[in-house]
Amino acid sequence: DIQMTQSPSSLSASVGDRVTITCRASQSISSYLNWYQQKPGKAPKLLIYAASSLQSGVPSRFSGSGSGTDFTLTISSLQPEDFATYYCQQSYSTRMYTFGQGTKLEIK
């Protein structure tokens, strides 16, 4: 099975900060990497698919990069509504999709 490891597990930042979250796969997954945002009590929301493609309607301050085993999600200038938990997910292995453990982004 492909394991996904996110870092950090939690992060404190201020409005206006630039934030980067990292996701590492246990083997190469090409660009089959997706990012989701989840707020408390709500369903996850797709932000980025195929490592770097911005989902329709998602603000351009969100961006993704990487391929192979190492990926990043960057928020260029944090807004109050961005404080949430972020998950990466590999879709390379359709027999067993896996998510990272999540990164909780909190207000400093």
Partner 1 sequence: EVQLVESGGGLVQPGGSLRLSCAASGFTFSSYSMNWVRQAPGKGLEWVSYISSSSSTIYYADSVKGRFTISRDNAKNSLYLQMNSLRDEDTAVYYCAREEGGGSYFDYWGQGTLVTVSS
Site residues, partner 1 (CB under 8 A): 1, 32, 34, 36, 38, 42-46, 49-50, 53, 55, 87, 89, 91, 94-102
Q: Do 29 and 68 meet the contact criterion of CB atoms below 8 Å apart?
A: yes
Q: Which is nearer to partner 1, 17 or 93 (CB)?
A: 93
Q: Which is nearer to partner 1, 49 or 82 (CB)?
A: 49
For residue 100, the minimal CB distance to partner 1 (Å) is 8
For residue 16, the minimal CB distance to partner 1 (Å) is 28
Q: Which is nearer to partner 1, 1 or 81 (CB)?
A: 1
Q: How far is CA 78 from the centre of its chain?
A: 14
> How many CB atoms are closer than 10 A to CB 105?
21
- Distances in Å between the Cα of 3 and the Cα atoms of 30, 71, 93, 99, 102 are 14, 13, 11, 8, 13
